[in-house]
A and B are shown apart, each in its own frame.
Chain A
Amino acid sequence: MALAQDIGFVLHARRYRENSRVLELFTRAHGRLAVVARVGQKQAVRTLATLQPFVEAQFSWRGRTTLQNLDHADAIETYLLAGEAGVCGLYCNELLLYLTLADLPLPELYDVYGDTLRELAQGEQNAAGLLRRFEWALLETLGYAFSCEDDWQTQLPLTGSGPFYFTPERGLSAIPTERGSVVLSSQGLACLRAREFQSPGAGSQLRPVLRAALDHLLGNRQLKSRLLLQSMQKYRQ
């Protein structure tokens, strides 16, 4: 069995028997994969610290089945996501876990994910903007991004002061559809075209449209981390 190695992050770890963990890894060149990590008593604390989410590490693994054996993990960089940033990071992990295919390399998305964690760890105030950037990168990488230029109903360029109406699987249009579609302002569209996710208000303006696009892909699955972020809001009000 050949040894494979790559840099990556742990998206999720769950206990498997007494001294093992099943890890969902998101690696740069091998995409998402599941490995079993044996965590011996002696090195447990040190190993478990590396096998936490938001730690970029050099992983090596071997095996022929879909569930392979982790050989080694060396931490490269740890991103300390304190408070709400931690929930934002778990939101990204949840999206990656549910929407990416196993064994599909997504290096560009990996880089955006790494940048998102880094900026969250650095205390970026505009977390909403970072999440919208990640969501858009995810949609683009998976081939589900919609056109910001053309009206899907008229096939003409999207012009005017808006508002624009978003329909999943179709895209944006200046003409409202019969079914309840999501509204995007011209300012929001301008931010999306220029990829200016960090500009003031972009995070909240783009949220409904990107959420509708992602929810369509997720089907009936509800993102628990999103519910958690929402339930934390009630304590602030």
Chain B
Amino acid sequence: MTFSPLLQQLMDALRCLPGVGPKTAQRMAFHLLEKDRQGAAQLVQTLEESLRRVGRCQQCRTLTEQPVCEICGNSGRDRQKLCIVENPADVLAIEQSSVYRGYYFVLLGHISPLDGIGPEDLGLDILEKRLAEGHIKEIILATNPTVEGEVTAHYISEMARSLNVAVSRIAQGVPFGGELEYIDAQTLSHAFEGRTHYD
């Protein structure tokens, strides 16, 4: 059975979402058109408005419709600390943990020479200018524990040291509630390499 051209177009468009295959796209399209037309209209309106208005924060590069995002606009946070993350979702994860009260810088990716992504593609010139202003005393590198994430962290640490800014890296190792038996060798190696003095 073939669907009408517009219906097929809608299903194809829905497949741009992560985790949505042909069957899920079909279910979503039927749901929107059959059962929730009001929801569909609201989705269209919100999506259109988001595309028009949401851009990047001038200070941390996270997604926001304001020139400066809510976190960067909050003067009550620790101005001396800056946490470097790869994606806006990482900011949310750290914020939910409530362990950090400084500011962020979102790279929107990582350095990956084999994909042709260099420092200039990640707004590191903006970061360098920000560090050169002298307000930030410590940066916390929270890039992902992948080869590319480590390379990115190393590059930023070299930049920060040249500007006399202290650098720290989030710890890597055994997750809370985990069992050593089920931890992979790489994670265990990192856990042993990064062991700390036990008081």
Contacts and interface: CB of A to CB of B under 8 A. Distances in A.
Q: Tell which of A80, A86, A223 has the most Cβ of chain B within 10 Å.
A: A86
A94 B158 contact: no
Contacts of A50: 184, 186
A18 interface: yes
Nearest to B157: A83
A52 B184 CA distance: 12
Contacts of B117: 224
A80 B114 contact: no
B68 interface: no
Contact of A12 (B18, B114, B154, B182): B114
Interface of A: 11-12, 14, 18, 45-46, 49-50, 52-55, 75, 78, 80-84, 86-87, 89-91, 93-94, 97, 223-225, 227-228, 231-232, 235-236
Given A55-B186, A82-B154, A235-B162, 17 more contacts: A12-B114, A12-B115, A46-B182, A49-B186, A50-B184, A52-B186, A78-B186, A83-B150, A83-B154, A86-B151, A87-B151, A224-B117, A225-B113, A227-B118, A228-B119, A235-B159, A236-B158
Given A45-B184, A54-B147, A78-B189, A87 B154 contact: yes
Interface string B144-162: 0011001100110111011
B19 interface: yes
Given A46-B184, A55-B186, A78-B186, A18 B114 contact: no
Interface string B162-195: 1000000000000000000010111101100100
Contacts of A228: 111, 113, 118-119, 151, 155
Contacts of B115: 12, 14
21 contacts: A12-B115, A45-B184, A46-B184, A52-B146, A52-B186, A78-B186, A80-B189, A80-B190, A81-B147, A81-B150, A86-B154, A87-B113, A90-B151, A224-B116, A225-B113, A228-B118, A228-B151, A231-B155, A235-B159, A235-B162, A236-B158
Interface in B34-66: none
A94 B113 contact: yes
A45 B116 CA distance: 25
A-B pairs, 10 with minimum CB distance = A224-B113, A225-B113, A235-B162, A235-B158, A49-B184, A83-B154, A12-B114, A49-B186, A18-B19, A78-B186
Contacts of A45: 184
Q: Tell which of B114, B118, B184, B189 has the most Cβ of chain A within 10 Å.
A: B114
Contacts, number: 84
A90 B147 CA distance: 9
B147 A86 contact: yes
Interface in B98-128: 111, 113-119
B144 to A, nearest CB: 10
Given A14-B115, A232-B155, A80 B184 contact: no
A78 B161 CA distance: 29
A39 to B, nearest CB: 13
A93 B150 CA distance: 16
Nearest to A228: B113
Contacts of B189: 78, 80
